[in-house]
């Protein structure tokens, strides 16, 4: 078996309210009247109050430190400049999330960690973040490393699948997973509908979790099963490309409808393997890709907004931090567990390019 025995999270120090970010977007994107009305409508309806960034520019009106101090923001930062910023900021943010995670299980020595899984879709370099983490954490140099890159918001599920398999196959496995996303480095200023949506949702954050082959003191989450699907009719509605001026998100307003058409089938296929139904689920850990996505899932599965509260809480405070976000939701759930909550089922979802639908069933366990 495998056990998620600790989850740590971290966000950058710069935090901005949605109106402040909207003001920055208005100045930089320079939308026409119609696009400007749409921009503010999207921000108001986002369900987000604050977001974090490694850049302080989003709270400024001038004297920018990353973006050019020109009227049209040209020359717009290149992909090279953005990845240099990723290299500068990803390590310290990752370390904070990991330290927060490891501090919860003091009995586990860092030298006991056998595997490191590093996840990101917002930056890369080589030698990479994985090697930097080993050096700064003073891990065993023989720790086995795996990097999961450019898979988007559902990548943490692939990391957990791998960690689960490792713990089941190696009786002394101790797996450290870290998801680090600096989405705000990839701001695009053309006032397209895709950019308006992306600029209203995405933020920076890191999450880390410890997966062990035996339960650790306190609360553990036990992965029972994983199940995934592909909605090929949504292939054009969510994509992630590398452009000359950063990574470019394609995110259409049809994503909630695409998820709606596949989520019930995905859930039934997962739960039927255990002769369970939606009424047997005690907690929901749903990736808050956006408020409309959460509402679509609630309608299809017949669950209430109150039952989906962890996702809304993370969305409201942090926005969408791509792969790291689901770790924030699971962290929120673990923080709320009470003695009577042992052996309860948690159903989790995340979504990404493809259009990929990922699901996971977990059980709570107190040691």
pLDDT digits (tens), the chain, 367 positions? 899 999 999 999 999 999 999 999 999 999 999 999 999 999 999 999 999 999 999 999 999 999 999 989 999 999 999 999 999 999 999 999 999 999 999 999 999 999 999 999 999 999 999 999 999 999 999 999 999 999 999 999 999 999 999 999 999 999 999 999 999 999 999 999 999 999 999 999 999 999 999 999 999 999 999 999 887 765 666 778 899 999 988 876 767 888 888 888 889 999 998 899 999 999 999 999 999 999 999 999 999 999 999 999 999 999 999 999 999 999 999 999 998 899 999 999 999 888 889 999 999 999 9
- DSSP β-ladder status, 174-182 and 246-251: unpaired
pLDDT at 241: 87
Backbone torsion region of residue 90, taken as left when φ is above 0, otherwise alpha when ψ lies between -120 and 50, otherwise beta: alpha
Non-local CB neighbours of 190 within 8 Å, separated by 6+ positions: 29
Non-local CB neighbours of 340 within 8 Å, separated by 6+ positions: none
The CA distance from 244 to 121, in Å, is 16
- DSSP β-ladder status, 115-120 and 174-182: parallel
Backbone torsion region of residue 207, taken as left when φ is above 0, otherwise alpha when ψ lies between -120 and 50, otherwise beta: beta
- Return the active site residues: 153
Does the pTM exceed 0.85? yes
The CA distance from 125 to 118, in Å, is 12
The CA distance from 188 to 198, in Å, is 9
Among 254, 262, 256, 277, residue whose Cα is nearest residue 228? 262
Cα of first residue to Cα of last residue in the chain, in angstroms, is: 14
Give the count of alpha carbons within 13 A of 198, CB side only. Answer: 26
């Amino acid at each position: 078996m495998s056990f998620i025995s600790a989850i740590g999270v971290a966000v950058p120090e710069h935090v901005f309210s949605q109106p402040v970010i909207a003001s920055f977007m208005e100045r930089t994107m320079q939308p026409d009247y119609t696009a400007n009305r749409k921009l503010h409508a999207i921000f108001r309806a986002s369900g987000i109050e604050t977001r974090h960034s490694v850049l302080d520019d989003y709270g400024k009106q001038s004297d920018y430190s990353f973006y050019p101090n020109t009227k049209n923001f040209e020359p717009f930062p290149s992909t090279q400049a953005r990845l240099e910023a990723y290299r500068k900021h990803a390590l310290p943010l990752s370390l904070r999330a990991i330290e927060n995670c490891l501090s919860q299980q003091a009995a586990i020595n860092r030298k006991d960690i056998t595997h490191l899984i590093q996840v990101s879709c917002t930056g890369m370099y080589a030698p990479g973040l994985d090697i930097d983490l080993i050096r700064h954490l003073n891990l065993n140099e023989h720790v086995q490393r795996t990097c999961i890159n450019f898979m988007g918001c559902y990548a943490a599920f692939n990391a957990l699948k791998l960690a689960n398999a490792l713990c089941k196959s190696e009786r002394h496995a101790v797996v450290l997973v870290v998801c680090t996303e600096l989405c705000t480095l990839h701001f695009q200023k053309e006032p397209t509908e895709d950019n308006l949506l992306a600029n209203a949702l995405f933020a920076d954050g890191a999450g880390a979790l410890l997966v062990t082959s035996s339960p650790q003191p306190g609360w553990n989450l036990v992965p029972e099963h994983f199940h995934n699907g592909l909605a090929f009719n949504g292939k054009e509605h969510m994509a992630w490309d590398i452009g000359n001026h950063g990574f470019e998100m394609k995110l259409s307003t049809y994503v909630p409808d695409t998820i709606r058409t596949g989520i019930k089938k995905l859930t039934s296929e997962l739960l039927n393997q255990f002769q369970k139904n939606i009424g047997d689920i005690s907690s929901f850990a749903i990736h808050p890709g956006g408020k409309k996505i959460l509402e679509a899932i609630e309608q299809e599965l017949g669950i209430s907004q109150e039952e989906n509260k962890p996702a809304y809480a993370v969305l409201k405070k942090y926005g969408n931090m791509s792969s790291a976000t689901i770790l924030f939701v699971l962290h929120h759930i673990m923080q709320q567990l009470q003695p009577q909550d042992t052996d309860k089922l948690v159903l989790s979802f995340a979504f990404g390019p493809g259009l990929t639908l990922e699901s996971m069933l977990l059980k709570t366990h107190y040691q």
